[in-house]
Structure 1
């Protein structure tokens, strides 16, 4: 039996969540961005090369935020080439699976264009930055655009969206929890967690 299309479930949930209830964030200078510390800590202990590649991609993501580069698949693919040390990082060409096959992310002729449409909403000034960052993170997770490294791409996207507003998270580790496409409460909780982490002093 084919698993339910979790991407369709996410697109429904995405419309249901009251993103306007996300917490306000305070500006945090780039020097207190917890992403490099996370790379130098648990990531480097597990795989030094993975840490180096993530740090290089993080630099690109923040530079693109300063340049106000449009957030789209092409931008993410540029970061992902650093993450994977790859010469090409095309959009996936078939259905993707996660969570031991329990979630299936379907592919149609318009999936990539739908993804870019969703990413463009990450600069919507009518929504709080915490909501935009959480939603963009989940967009990457559930569109699952790459054949590998989607969790890392989602984190980089979150960092980029916040950096455009001169906001950083002093801690990244708590974001590393499983998210489900059909869980509106979990999506809203991610925005809340971003608010909590934004206010932490480390």
Structure 2
């Protein structure tokens, strides 16, 4: 039973890593380096988890195949690419260094082409998940302030967001981490000066997240996420509706956890940018907390799990995760 529980925990951990940096198969060519970094990190995770014991590379090959299949590559092709990439280059009782892991990741992703994926059903068959979210948003029984123990300003010794950027994001790409840290400084400066939360504010942060010459514009086309299973529509009123939703993050009738969770999901499902929306959502959440004088000592449960646009329980689950981190941060600050 213990072994079964350990295996279950490992599979859940892998699923979190697969979703940690959602990949878009239709932009495989442009984002190839991100696919490679994700694969490299999985190799290092497997080596660490197995202790690089006898035959550990067999499981590594299996995990890389799962990774490609998860993002739409046919299982047979995924298995063949993983086998060819690893070959006989890994050894028992020897963990790979970063250089070798990167080379294997490049060999894994290099032969892939967008047409190798079957990531999305026909968009015509998909509902508009932005509209689904807006309906769900009104039905969720968000906790109100009277039932909350928000506890006022909180500054723990550890800055959880900055720490996660320096570890988790830096492992993907040091430039990515640097952009997030710069954006985080701007988020907190904007909160301190009492800036209104709207799309224009998000654009300023996103310029650093994506390292673009100018603040990025609102996307012009429907967007897809979760391997093409969710579609977010676009229309002439999208920006106005987003701004109206974000403005509600200042509604003190709701608990702080509810306001931050709802704003996070607003950005996720309005999906305003062509890239980096999960990072934008996290920065939005951190801004709402910063306006209340709160710094979290961890953001792990917030970042590592995806959420469905059409599920009220997912929204409440995120709210509970934020509340958990708030309690932990207050305890750490004492």
TM bin (shorter chain): over 0.9
Structure 2 residue matching 1:154: 3-state secondary structure: helix
Matches within 5 A, 1:106-121: 106-121=233-248
Residue aligning to 2:140: 17
Q: Distance in 2 between matches of 1:24 and 1:48?
A: 37
Contact 1:23–1:191 under 8 Å retained in 2: no
Cα offset for 1:23?
A: 4.4
Structure 1 residue runs of 4 or more that deviate by more than 6 Å after TM superposition: none
Structure 2 residue matching 1:177: 3-state secondary structure: coil
**Residues 1:196 and 2:324 aligned together:** yes
Report how many residues are paired: 202
Contact 1:130–1:195 under 8 Å retained in 2: yes
**Residues 1:38 and 2:161 aligned together:** no
Instruction: Pick the aligned partner of 2:279 from 128, 146, 152.
Output: 152
Residue aligning to 1:97: 224
**Residues 1:142 and 2:249 aligned together:** no
Cα offset for 1:28?
A: 1.4
Contact 2:156–2:296 under 8 Å retained in 1: no
Q: Distance in 2 between matches of 1:149 and 1:18?
A: 29
Shift of the 154–46 alpha-carbon distance from structure 1 to 2, 3 Å rule, reads: same
Quick check: 50-59 or 14-23, which moved more? 14-23
Shift of the 24–87 alpha-carbon distance from structure 1 to 2, 3 Å rule, reads: farther
Contact 1:25–1:167 under 8 Å retained in 2: no
Structure 2 residue matching 1:97: 3-state secondary structure: strand
Contact 2:155–2:296 under 8 Å retained in 1: no
Q: CA RMSD in A?
A: 1.4
Contact 1:23–1:195 under 8 Å retained in 2: no
Structure 1 residue matching 2:143: 3-state secondary structure: helix
**Residues 1:182 and 2:310 aligned together:** yes
**Residues 1:131 and 2:254 aligned together:** no
Cα offset for 1:5?
A: 0.4
Structure 1 unaligned residues grouped into runs of 5+: none
**Residues 1:82 and 2:205 aligned together:** no
The TM-score with structure 1 as length reference comes to 0.95
Cα offset for 1:169?
A: 1.5
Residue aligning to 1:72: 198
The TM-score with structure 2 as length reference comes to 0.58
Structure 2 unaligned residues grouped into runs of 5+: 1-121
Deviation track 1:60-109 (CA, whole Å, cap 9, x = no partner) reads 00110111100000000000000011123000001111011110000111
Contact 1:62–1:163 under 8 Å retained in 2: yes
